[in-house]
Structure 1
């Protein structure tokens, strides 16, 4: 299994505060390799709104996806439960139109603010009550906003994660125009070949005209 961090810094048995200093060593975390970085930038360019808008990055970790979103002109709010991760994200996006908050991705501390996109990578599977969490995330969207979820299932003996068909079923009553993109066959995203289930789900707020 390739472990990714979740909203709780002891999620999946890992202390993410302790892992913060080495988190970006993974190719798909730090995006230090130009090919991996470009692959994620291309995907985000397709998933996020074309016009600059407000993006909420939940479980943002060290802010690698937040940085790509900011480089594409978006105003970013990042949330992570790990203070050490948040500190690194703030440093990574210093001078950018970005704010980082320590808090729970399941109930982000953003008050009444609403967003043009909510971006969440490898977090939902760590949370109890995913249906309830998805409803709350959809409520954080402006009319026509996009919910972008990057998820998967890892391992063969005792797999963990959430399958795409389960996730789309949970989203069915909450959003419209839901599409699934399979990501397992794009080695550029991960810096290596992978065989487990990795995918993105993009849904549009049902209040869109």
Structure 2
């Protein structure tokens, strides 16, 4: 693993124990969980679909997908996040692969052909998000789709856009506006849909920043 990747993995490992305390991370609140389950149903094809959950964290969305009859595969750079994801899926009775790997360049052992590539709030962490999108689009089967849950939660110059010391620049630090993401996707996919996500039920609180999902079809 390159040195900068190890640094990023360590950063997220340090947050693994408390990660699920955020309402939209752990989905522990029944209302928040139900809101995400409804959204996932609206974005997914008929089950069973093969879904690559990139930057899967502790596996909360993978678990919901498995409960809906899909076949998720999770990839995350942080080993402690993956440990939690494995336990979470296994406790619920699902044998879904959850593996350590670079979500921007998914390992071949995760698979090379999927009905859906899913990521949530991942693109801002990547040194080259546009190259990652190109790779992800290449993993889609004909008729497959990218489902990208994103947002823009820091304005330019806010101080929240700086990368951590010693890490490569992250051009979408602080999130990415929908129009900017659409511009990056148009050369790679066909039909694109944008679903605004302002509903407090998804986040466990009211949000004032831009939240949305892009569903882009191969």
TM exceeding 0.5: yes
Which position in structure 2 is the counterpart of 1:102? 100
- Aligned partner of 2:213 in structure 1 is 200
1:179 has 2:193 as partner: yes
- 1:50 deviation in Å? 1.7
The counterpart of 2:81, out of the listed 76, 80, 85, is 85
Asked if the contact 1:70/1:97 (under 8 Å) is kept, the reply is no
Contact 2:10 2:78 in 1 (8 A): no
Residue in 2 that maps onto 1:3? none
Q: 1:192 to 1:60 in 2, by over 3 A?
A: same
TM-score, normalisation: structure 2: 0.85
CA positional deviation for 1:113: 2.4
Q: Structure 1: any 5+ residue segments left out of the alignment?
A: 1-7
1:9–1:17 Cα contact (<8 Å) kept: no
Report the number of matched residues.
Answer: 196
| Distance in 2 between residues matched to 1:72 and 1:164, nearest whole Å | 28
Matches of 1:9 and 1:146 in 2, distance apart? 30
Separation in 2, partners of 1:81, 1:41: 25
Shift of 1:176: 1.2
Contact 1:151 1:199 in 2 (8 A): yes
Is residue 44 of structure 2 the alignment partner of residue 30 of structure 1? no
Shift of 1:158: 4.0
Where in structure 1 do 4 or more consecutive aligned residues deviate above 4 Å? 8-11
User: Which residue is 1:69 aligned to?
Assistant: 65
Q: What root-mean-square deviation, in Å, do the aligned CA atoms of Structure 1 and Structure 2 show?
A: 1.7
Unpaired runs of at least 5, structure 2: 161-173
> What is the TM-score with the length of structure 1 in the denominator?
0.89
Q: After the TM superposition, which residues 134-145 of structure 1 pair with which residues of structure 2 at under 5 Å, given as runs?
A: 134-145=133-144
Give the corresponding residue for 2:15: 19
The answer to whether the aligner puts 1:59 opposite 2:58 as a matched pair is no
Relative to structure 1, the CA distance from residue 14 to residue 167 in structure 2 (aligned partners, 3 Å threshold; closer, same or farther) is: farther
Larger strand proportion of the pair:
1
Deviation per CA, 1:69-88, whole angstroms, max 9, x where unpaired?
10110111000000000000
| Bigger mean CA offset, 86-95 vs 111-120 | 111-120
Tell me, yes or no, if structure 1 residue 154 matches structure 2 residue 168: no
Q: CA offset at residue 110 of structure 1?
A: 2.8
**In 2, Cα distance between equivalents of 1:132 and 1:176:** 18
Q: Is the 8 A contact 1:55 1:77 kept in 2?
A: yes
